[in-house]
Chain A
Amino acid sequence: MMSGIRGNVGRSESMRTGASVDSHDSVGGGSTGNGGSGGPGSNVRLGFANLPDQMHRKAVKKGFNFTLMVVGESGLGKSTLISSLFQQDLYKDRELGSATERVNKTTEIDKRQIELDEKGVKLRLTVVDTPGFNDAINCQDCWRPIEDYIDNTFEQYFKDECGLNRKNIVDHRVHCCLYFVSPCGHGLRPIDVELMRRLHSKVNIVPIIAKADTLTQAELRDLKERVLADLDRHKIQTYRMPDTDSDDDEETRRQESDIRACIPFAVIGSNCVVESADTGRRTRGRQYPWGVVEVENPKHCDFAKLRIFLLGTHMQDLKDITKEVHYENYRAKYITERMSKRKGAVRDDFETRKSKNTTEANFEAIVDTEGLLKEKEDELFNAK
């Protein structure tokens, strides 16, 4: 009977192979039929070269989600940049407080979600804004709410992962943090350094020079150099792009090295449409009496490169690094802390019970008087 079954199995397998071969042909030979598929001497295409297509279809059906955090002080153009990046005005109904309200303001976390659809690919984008950062007079610990938020999202994911029903985990983890550096300055400020030091091991930080239309070409070069030097000096690890593989073509490699040379990106954002000076096209830009700045012109700023980087080429890598590196670090730390806390609680109890005797205090008093008498003895001896 067993053999009978085996026989059946064998037959169904061959049938399946046959079927896949058929479907392989019907697809139209799109997938590569590299000669080396299958064992020696078999010219049967197994068809797993189809896998990327299957993955593609499934991913498109499932949709993508991405969480982007923007951090920087008020007035650096964060909201405008987000609107320019995603071609949507997310912050239409926002109210800005006056200076009196900001004297003692704490950092808040403001989440907004939108769903975008491009050529059938759905993206669920969450933008986490941090209004109130560096607004108050005393900004001690103003990074605490941001740190706590990131930790909470990690903790939430960890608990979900350990839970019983894992089908519908929603991933709120922050995949990328755009840190806005003020262009009026000679590099990073102490508060910038403080925040980045606390976040660089928890989230991918991409530094951005905001309002880059304040700077001439030479000043921009200087500032980028200084920012990179400051980051180096304080040992802050910002997001590093993965090295290109050798089998990527020349075009991608050039693009990649272009983008890498640009970090930190110097961006300009705009919610208005202007007419470009040389082509006459209408694009997003800023109109000045002395000229027109085009947001998407690579000669004017790095906005186009930032968009390619964030949306075009590295979004998945950002998510992967968050998942594999930052989340795993957090998880390991969290678990070991919980273990040691439990052990530590037991140890602490024992020690407090031991130190309840008072002989320690007396001993110290005795030592003192002995020392004093010895001194006096020496004095008397020397006086003699």
Chain B
Amino acid sequence: MTTVEVMKGLGPDVRTIKLNGHVGFDSLPDQLVNKHVAQGFSFNIMCIGETGLGKSTLIETLFNQRFEFTPSSHEVPQVKLKPHTYDLKEGSVKLKLTIIETSGFGDQVNKEDSSKPIIDYINQQFENFLQEELKIKRSLHTYHDTRVHVCLYFIAPTGHSLKSIDMVTMKKLDSRVNIIPVIAKSDTITKPELQRFKTRIQNEIANNDIHIYQFPTDDETVSEQNSIMKNLVPFAVVGSSDEITVNGRKSRARQYPWGAVLVDSEAHCDFVRLREAMLRVNMDDLRERTHAMHYEHYRRQRLAEMGFSDEDKLSLQEMYEKRRETHQAELQRKEEEMRQMFVVRVKEKEQELKKAEGDLQTKFEAVKKQHADEKRKLEEKRQGLDEEIAEFQRRKTAADNRNNLASGTSFTLSKSKKK
């Protein structure tokens, strides 16, 4: 005899019935799971941390695969995000894994704009999903969900406390994505130092109201595990893809002259716990929270921007029409304005040109007058010169005549000369 728990929250006209035999709808979860498994899951991890903290290595260690990330240099002028998508398969479960890595985070001298590209990327993914949701003909069940499900924030192993950029960035991101802080390269820190460091970070996170991802404790099956995990945050991890043989077994480790750090050993680092917490136990909860909390938050903000709100009680359709009308009116008004401005400008230009033409005309006249004056002057001078020449000739002939009279001969030279 199967019994059914009283479902809370139903109205008075819903009766709960006790079943007398096996109906069979207890296989619903299995049907759901089978359908999802056939579709495949998608999971998007974002890794934020300074260059050289081992983000790529940790992802490779987590998924036990070599992804061939290229290490970035320190001289990137602005933070950039590089998403890579991979298809993984474990058992019969297909996973579309997208890894988004920051490059150049914390390298610039002025780090004030470091978080902007990250926030833009997260919002862009939410926006894409929102657009898909609002489409008339949409295909949500085949849509490749690129929203960021979890953000691993890598803290540098200084041993003192969080850096200022860590705090500021986490504060900006805590309402948009699930943050799990991890201490990178934690094989630098001894056990007592690590405890102090973790306590200090936990205090700072609490004091500054940073809402990192809380592992869910309401489900009994996982609540115990998750409460242990909660105390371990931030996870102190060590990543390595190199294998060495220890005690006859091959395991991933980092070999030092003074010993070897085994990545898979719980006594050496928290890597195994991180993998459990993130992948084995809470992966679905992370996706759920991204959709139910962060995405809804974004959607509400965005629709409020667009002018929709819950108080007007208008359907989406009517809101759209109204919006469109106002928008059109606005456009028309702007067009009118521009046209008027154009006319005014053309008039001004015409006046200017006219004035310039007038100026040109007067200048031309002046130059012409000047030219005429000079010409006249030259003419006068020429006349003067001609007269002088004539005078000179007359004098010459007179002198010659006198000479001729004096000598008594007459020549015709003067005549020919006169020619």
Contact = CB atoms under 8 A, between A and B. Distances in A.
A293 to B, nearest CB: 5
Given A136-B164, A140-B109, A184-B53, A214 B204 contact: no
Contact of A214 (B164, B188, B258, B260): B188
A135 interface: yes
Contact of B168 (A137, A217, A288): A137
B109 A139 contact: yes
B268 A76 contact: no
B40 interface: no
B277 to A, nearest CB: 21
Interface size class of A (residues with CB under 8 A): 35 or more
Contacts, number: 143
A139 B188 contact: no
Interface string B158-180: 11111111111000000000000
B250 to A, nearest CB: 17
Which are the 5 A-B pairs with shortest beta-carbon distances? A75-B158, A291-B259, A185-B52, A291-B258, A290-B259
A290 B268 contact: yes
A99 B74 contact: no
Nearest to B75: A190
B58 interface: no
Given A291-B260, A293-B256, A373-B359, 6 more contacts: A75-B159, A100-B167, A137-B111, A187-B74, A190-B75, A291-B259
- Main secondary structure, interface of A, reads loop
Given A214-B185, A288-B259, A99 B109 contact: no
Contacts of A102: 163-164
Contact of A185 (B74, B165, B191): B74
A96 interface: yes
Contact of A96 (B50, B161, B185, B356): B161
A194 B109 contact: yes
Contact of A100 (B51, B108, B184, B208): B208
Interface in B63-78: 71-75
B186 to A, nearest CB: 10
A380 to B, nearest CB: 8
Q: Which of A96, A189, A291 has the most CB of B within 10 A?
A: A189
B230 interface: no
Contacts of A189: 51, 74, 107
Contacts of A183: 188
Contacts of A75: 156-160
Nearest to A187: B74
- Main secondary structure, interface of B, reads loop
Contacts of A136: 164
A216 interface: yes
21 contacts: A75-B158, A76-B158, A100-B167, A103-B168, A137-B112, A139-B111, A184-B156, A184-B185, A185-B51, A187-B73, A190-B75, A190-B108, A214-B188, A216-B255, A290-B259, A291-B260, A299-B257, A373-B356, A373-B359, A373-B360, A376-B357
A22 interface: no
Contacts of A372: 356
A217 B373 CA distance: 98
Contacts of A138: 109-112
Nearest to A274: B190
Interface in A94-128: 96, 98-100, 102-103, 105
A232 B267 CA distance: 42
Contacts of B158: 74-76
Interface in A153-197: 182-191, 194
B264 interface: no
Contacts of A139: 109-111
A191 B109 contact: yes
Q: Which of B187, B260, B267 has the most CB of A within 10 A?
A: B187
Contacts of B164: 99-100, 102-103, 105, 135-137
B97 interface: no
B255 to A, nearest CB: 6
Contacts of A256: none
B302 interface: no
A377 interface: yes
A139 to B, nearest CB: 5
B109 A190 contact: yes
A184 B261 contact: no
Contacts of B356: 372-373, 376
B255 A98 contact: no
Q: Which of A185, A287, A293 has the most CB of B within 10 A?
A: A185
A286 interface: yes
Interface in A49-85: 74-76
B287 interface: no
B112 A213 contact: no
Nearest to A96: B160
Contacts of B161: 96, 98-99
A136 B51 CA distance: 18
Contacts of B267: 289
